[in-house]
Amino acid sequence: MNLPDQPLSPDPHLPRDQRLPLTVITGYLGAGKTTLVNHMLRHADGRRIMVMVNDFGDIAIDASLIQSQKGDTLTLSNGCICCSMGGDLFYALSDALDRQPRPDHLVIEASGVADPMRISEIARAEPDLRLDATIALVDAAGFEASIGDVHIGTSVARQLTASDLIVINKSDLLPSEDLLKLQDRIAALAPEARQVSSRFGQVPLELLLGQCSLQNLKDMEKPCEGHDHPHDHEELYLRWSMMADLRFDKQDLAARLDRLPAGLLRLKGFVRLKGEADWVSVQVVGQRVDLDLLAKPPGGLERSVLVAIGVRGRLDVAALDRLFT
């Protein structure tokens, strides 16, 4: 038997924009999940990220970052929290939701064989959670061995098909023609997911977590400034943004979001709806669109605003311009 459990008394009805965003990180052993999670924690930039791992044994956090440890929970000096799920995802999730103050973003590092759908389904069901993204890591050199393995092949395939974004890690270890083949193979397995390559296990946080805050969006002139991005990112990714007095009909907006160009990895922002005072929050990760009608206008924002990040050389910026004018 394997039973879950929950502690008590969540807030009855949170305003929708208070939902805790959840990112699920999957990938078989050796794909680089731990490195990625460490990278996130080091570059949190004031965001209080809560990371849930299976056990601390996996996640050697720099000792200099650790402020205190209490039972299953590590508190870091930058405000982030890392906790062990103790084999019980549901209990840990309840704890995260009841935590005061509530973290800004929840990241679950799933076990190497977890079915990410079983985790992301909770975020779809739980009104206090918002599924931000399911991200699969693939070890470029080890992929063939894991997908072909009689015992874990199906788990690895399931991780890919359940993902919005697939990070092909250690891609520098493969000759470029092999990398292309690998990308095609993964695309065939998971046609819905968008792929990025990573050379050093480092992916910008705005891609992993949708790093731009409302304040960032308001300061459009300097979007996402001040991050400690390794210079490398700038060569791999391209940003696009717009701020304009645009209003859309909701159906029309949804139709436009269905036609987003290839190479787009994330799109985020707030859009004003036509003929009414309503606003929607727009979250796109890969090809999954999340539209959420806001009860009131996002604080201080007067015009529609959208920012996007995509793969340099593959993101058709002109297509984005055409869609949102």
Partner 1 sequence: MQTVVYSAKKIITMAANRPEATHVAVRDGRILAVGSLEEVSGWAAPGGGDCRLDETFADKVLLPGFVEGHAHMMAGGIWQFTYVGYQDRTSPDGELWQGLEDIDAVIARLRQIDAELEPDAPLIAWGFDPIFLTASRLNRFDLDQVCDSRPIAVMHSNFHLMTVNSRALDMAQYDRNSNVMGVDRGEDGEPTGELHEMAAMFPVMRRLGVDFRSLARTEGGIRDYGKVCHRCGVTTATDLINDLPLEDVEVISSITEEESYPARLVPVLNAHTAPADEIAAQALKLRGKSTDKMRLGSIKIITDGSIQGFTARMRWPGYYKGPDHGIWNIPPEQLMTTIETLNAAGVHMHIHVNGDEASEVTIEGVARALTKNPNPDHRHVLQHCQLADAAQFRRIRNLGLCVNLFANHLYYFGDKHYELTVGPERAERIDACATALAEGVPLAIHSDAPVTPMGPLFTAWCAVNRLTASGRVLGESERISVEEALRAVTLGPAYTLHLDSEIGSIEVGKKADFAVLDDDPLSVDPATLKDIGLWGTVLGGRLQPIS
Region of residue 174 (left: phi > 0; alpha: psi -120 to 50; beta: else): beta
Cα–Cα distance, 142 to 30 (Å, whole number): 8
Compute the CA torsion angle 10, 13, 18, 19 (nearest 10 deg): 70
28 makes contact with partner 1 (CB under 8 A): yes
Contact pick of 65, 122, 179, 317 for partner 1 (by CB under 8 A) = 122
Query: In angstroms, what is the minimal distance from the CB of 2 to partner 1?
Result: 6
Helix (H/G/I), strand (E/B), else coil: 53: strand
Rule CB under 8 A: choose which of 9, 64, 68, 176 binds partner 1: 9
DSSP characters for 259-324?
A: TPPTTEEEEEEEEEETTSS-EEEEEEETTEEEEEEESS--TT--SEEEEEEEETTT--HHHHHHHT
Stretch binding partner 1 (CB under 8 A), from 56-64, 161-169, 278-286, 303-311: 56-64
Calculate the alpha carbon distances from 82 to 86, 97, 151, 280 in Å: 12, 14, 30, 32
| Selection from 152, 206, 147, 158 nearest residue 182 by Cα | 147
Kindly report the number of other CB atoms within 10 A of residue 62's CB atom: 10
Kindly give, in sequence order, each residue whose CB lies less than 8 Å from that of residue 241, ignoring residues fewer than 6 positions away.
Answer: 220, 223, 305, 306, 307, 308
* Shortest distance in whole angstroms from residue 3 CB to partner 1: 5
Check residue 155 for interaction with partner 1 (CB under 8 A). yes
The residues pairing with 290 across neighbouring beta strands, listed in sequence order, are 283
Q: How far apart are CA 305 and CA 303, in angstroms?
A: 6
Residue among 45, 47, 48, 56 that touches partner 1 (CB under 8 A): 56
Least spacing, CB of residue 87 vs partner 1, in Å: 3
Quick check: 220 binds partner 1 (CB under 8 A)?
no
118 is a contact residue toward partner 1 (CB under 8 A): yes
Q: Is residue 94 at the binding interface for partner 1, with CB under 8 A as the rule?
A: yes
* 70 counts as binding partner 1 under rule CB under 8 A: no
Residue 25 CA to residue 48 CA, distance in Å, equals 17
Return the number of the residue (120 or 216) whose C-beta is nearest partner 1: 120
Cα–Cα distance for residue pair 118/310, rounded to 1 Å: 28
- Establish if 63 lies at the interface with partner 1 (CB under 8 A): no
- Nearest distance, CB of residue 106 and partner 1, angstroms: 14
Q: Closest distance between partner 1 and the C-beta of residue 194, in Å?
A: 21
Burial class (CB in 10 A: 0-12, 13-18, 19+), 279: buried
Among the candidate windows 60-68, 116-124, 159-167, 301-309, which touches partner 1 by CB under 8 A?
Answer: 116-124
Stretch that binds partner 1, among 81-89, 132-140, 162-170, 249-257 (CB under 8 A): 81-89
Residue 200 interacts with partner 1 (CB under 8 A)? no
Q: Please identify which residue in 87, 148, 230, 297 interacts with partner 1, judged by CB under 8 A.
A: 87
Q: Which is nearer to partner 1, 94 or 241 (CB)?
A: 94
Contact between 161 and partner 1 (CB under 8 A)?
A: no
Tell me how far apart the 2 most distant CA atoms of the chain are, in Å.
57
CB nearer partner 1, residue 241 or residue 281: 281
Q: Is 10 in the site for partner 1 (CB under 8 A)?
A: yes
> Which residues would be at the binding site for partner 1 (CB under 8 A)?
1-10, 12-13, 28-29, 54-58, 72, 84, 86-88, 90-91, 93-94, 97, 111-115, 118, 121-122, 124-127, 151-152, 154-155
